[in-house]
Amino acid sequence: MTETTEQEKLDSMLHGLYWWGVPTLFRCPHDPDPEKCEIALVGVPHSTGNGTTERDQHLGPRSVRNISALGRRSHKAFQVDPWKQCTIHDLGDVALPEANDNEACISRITDFYGRIDRAGTRPVSVGGDHSVTGGILQAIAGKNANLTKGEKVSLLHFDAHTDAFHHIDHFLGAKKSAAHWASYLVRDGHVDPHTSVQIGIRGNPRTLDWLEPSYDLGYEVVDMDRFDEIGIDETIKIIDQRLGDTPVYITFDLDCLDPTVAPGVANIEAGVEGLRINQVMKMIRSVKGKNIIGGDVVCLMPTKDSPNQITSMVANSLMFEMVSLIADCISSR
């Protein structure tokens, strides 16, 4: 084992101070070229796909960058140090000059991630509302994708809502919206719903058939009532059986968490208890060893967060889990 120099010790201390230096994600070098890294960290500052007045989700990437030095850690459970095992760069933010035009933004997101896919680099992203997942997966999953080798991707989808409401033509004008992505990605051949699972769905529905679109598409749905009934170990078995040996993408909407854990989210569901952070971590870590091609954390609302920025810190911790899973996957090849 190489001995740590005094300068490296000092650098390590400084790298853990969130208020020091230039705030890249996890203190990683900023380099917009995906060819030069194995894992790409990306901000997607997009809010127009949510279609509501809660549009401050575009501030999420900057908020996480500001505190993410706190998350540059070694992974205790996995016994890995992703920052030493892989080349990880912050590619910056997707440029969205038509920020109020959802469809134009989704197209630009797809173009941005198309470069990442062609490089064979695995992205971990922070949004942005949940429509960004549609733009990402149009580029990195399906018949023309490099990361999935032309296959459809399996989703490990944590959310309070299914986002598969294809019976609604648009959501306040947005067509490829935060309410539609889990549906049109199936229809367009990017996601295999029969090997995917949606976890954490909860709250009083707007209509009593609110889960039918997911069932019709073929998703496995573990809503909070079912989760409470079968428990976390049985849920992990379902995750393992559904994902199998397929390429996997993890998408995490922070509103699946209980509001006491993550208060700064859009579309908050406060009427029924959500997932706890230890439950989420156990489920995410259960996919260690699978072919994780990427992941995202979405729906952070910094303007509604607690003064201690707890929701941004939770988002940061979830990104770290995804980075560590992918680093372990790359190292095991």
pLDDT in tens, 70-79: 999 999 999 9
H helices present in the chain, as ranges: 6-15, 60-67, 82-85, 102-119, 132-140, 181-187, 212-217, 224-243, 277-285, 310-331
| Domain chopping of the chain, boundaries | 6-331
Query: Which pLDDT score, from 0 to 100, does residue 172 have?
Result: 65
Query: Which pLDDT score, from 0 to 100, does residue 89 have?
Result: 98
The candidate with the shortest Cα–Cα distance to 60, out of 251, 256, 297, is 297
0.85 exceeded by the pTM? yes
Helices vs. strands in the chain: H and E counts, helices first: 10, 8
Contact 96, 56 (CB under 8 A): no
Q: Which residue has the tokens 């598969």?
A: 164
Contact 162, 219 (CB under 8 A): yes
The candidate with the shortest Cα–Cα distance to 48, out of 129, 108, 109, is 129
pLDDT in tens, 15-59: 777 778 889 999 999 999 999 999 999 999 999 888 765 779 999
Band (3; pLDDT cuts 50, 70, 90): low
Q: Which amino acid is at 298?
A: V
Query: Which pLDDT score, from 0 to 100, does residue 92 have?
Result: 98
The candidate with the shortest Cα–Cα distance to 204, out of 266, 258, 160, is 160
Distance between CA atoms of 215 and 209, rounded to whole angstroms? 10
Band (6; pLDDT cuts 50, 70, 90): confident
Q: What percent of the chain has pLDDT over 70?
A: 97
pLDDT over threshold 60, residue 157:
yes
Query: Which pLDDT score, from 0 to 100, does residue 1 have?
Result: 46
pLDDT over threshold 90, residue 293:
yes
Beta-carbon count within 10 A of 217 CB: 19
Mean pLDDT of the chain: 93
Q: How do strand 154-158 and strand 220-222 relate by DSSP bridges?
A: unpaired
Domain 6-331 = CATH 3.40.800.10: yes
pLDDT in tens, 227-279: 999 999 999 999 999 999 999 999 999 999 999 999 999 989 988 999 999 99
Contact 125, 297 (CB under 8 A): yes
Give the end-to-end CA distance of the chain in Å, rounded to a whole number.
Answer: 23
Distance between CA atoms of 46 and 200, rounded to whole angstroms? 24
The region of weakest confidence among 121-125, 150-154, 164-168, 265-269 is 164-168
Distance between CA atoms of 185 and 309, rounded to whole angstroms? 33
pLDDT over threshold 90, residue 13:
no
Band (178; pLDDT cuts 50, 70, 90): confident
Distance between CA atoms of 95 and 106, rounded to whole angstroms? 11
pLDDT over threshold 70, residue 319:
yes
Query: Which pLDDT score, from 0 to 100, does residue 251 have?
Result: 98
pLDDT in tens, 85-139: 999 999 999 999 999 999 999 999 999 999 999 999 999 999 999 999 999 999 9
The packing angle between helices 277-285 and 310-331, to 10°, is 10
Query: Which pLDDT score, from 0 to 100, does residue 197 have?
Result: 98
- Grouping H, G, I as helix, E, B as strand and the rest as coil, residue 214 is helix
Q: What percent of the chain has pLDDT over 90?
A: 81
Question: Tokens for 307?
Answer: 């003064």
